[in-house]
Chain A
Amino acid sequence: MSMEGIPNLPPHLQGEFMRNLENIQMKDSLRLYNHLVQTCFTPCVTSFRSKSLDKYETSCVEHCAERYIKMTQRVGLRFAESQALQQKRAAEAAAGGK
């Protein structure tokens, strides 16, 4: 996930910032994994008569995970569009003020 709203950092700090960014992204991947499991387990698995998932529960969980990923991608797209539009308006406002 790349973001454009990063404040202007002096060059000697940018390397460290990129390392921090990698750390954040790694932590976020792991967090997403656990969150996704919980998000999909809750609606899909409702009975505990057996120790293993039946085929409906399995396909539900798999579909749920795929849908979540697809939705995340769409959210990212719309978010980026919104950010770009906001930056464009800010740039126009700044240019218009001269």
Chain B
Amino acid sequence: MNFFGQKEEQPKGPDPLFAATTEMEMYTDLFNKMASTCFSKCASQKHKEPDLALGEMSCTDRCVAKYLEAQEKVGMVLQRANEVQAKQAQALADMQNALGGR
């Protein structure tokens, strides 16, 4: 999985060690946020028992599945936005080149 949750492509520009380390940090951050979010959404805040109830465990499973799906969808939106921006930047550069070439 690359940064936006899509299939892994060959790393191009950035230093591969930095990319690998950053990817690791991304996974760590994702995991922490997911655990924290699902805890606040699924676990009762009374904390009477030290164990999770059956309902809380099912909720956790579904929460993880939905969170990862949401991550994928957000990734696609960001990817599309990036592509649009790249096209616009290219169009601007082309226009400036055309003007500069007079």
Q: Which residues of A contact B (CB under 8 A)?
A: 1, 3, 5-7, 9-10, 13, 16-17, 20-21, 24-25, 28, 31-32, 35, 39-40, 43-44, 59-64, 66-68, 70-72, 74-76, 78-79, 82-83, 86, 90
Contact = CB atoms under 8 A, between A and B. Distances in A.
Contact of B47 (A13, A20, A44, A75): A44
Interface residues on B, range: 35 or more
Contacts of B64: 75, 78-79, 82
Given A7-B16, A60-B47, A79-B68, A71 B27 contact: no
A72 B61 CA distance: 11
Given A5-B23, A39-B40, 20 more contacts: A1-B31, A6-B20, A7-B8, A9-B17, A13-B17, A17-B17, A20-B20, A21-B21, A24-B24, A39-B36, A67-B52, A71-B38, A71-B39, A71-B52, A72-B39, A74-B52, A75-B60, A76-B31, A79-B34, A79-B64
Contact of B23 (A6, A10, A76): A6
Main secondary structure of the interface of A (DSSP, over half): helix
Interface of B: 1, 7-8, 11, 16-17, 19-21, 23-25, 27-28, 31-32, 34-36, 38-40, 42-43, 45-52, 56-57, 60-61, 64-65, 68
B47 A40 contact: yes
Contact of B60 (A1, A3, A78): A78
Contact of A17 (B21, B50, B51, B57): B21
B50 A63 contact: yes
A70 B65 contact: no
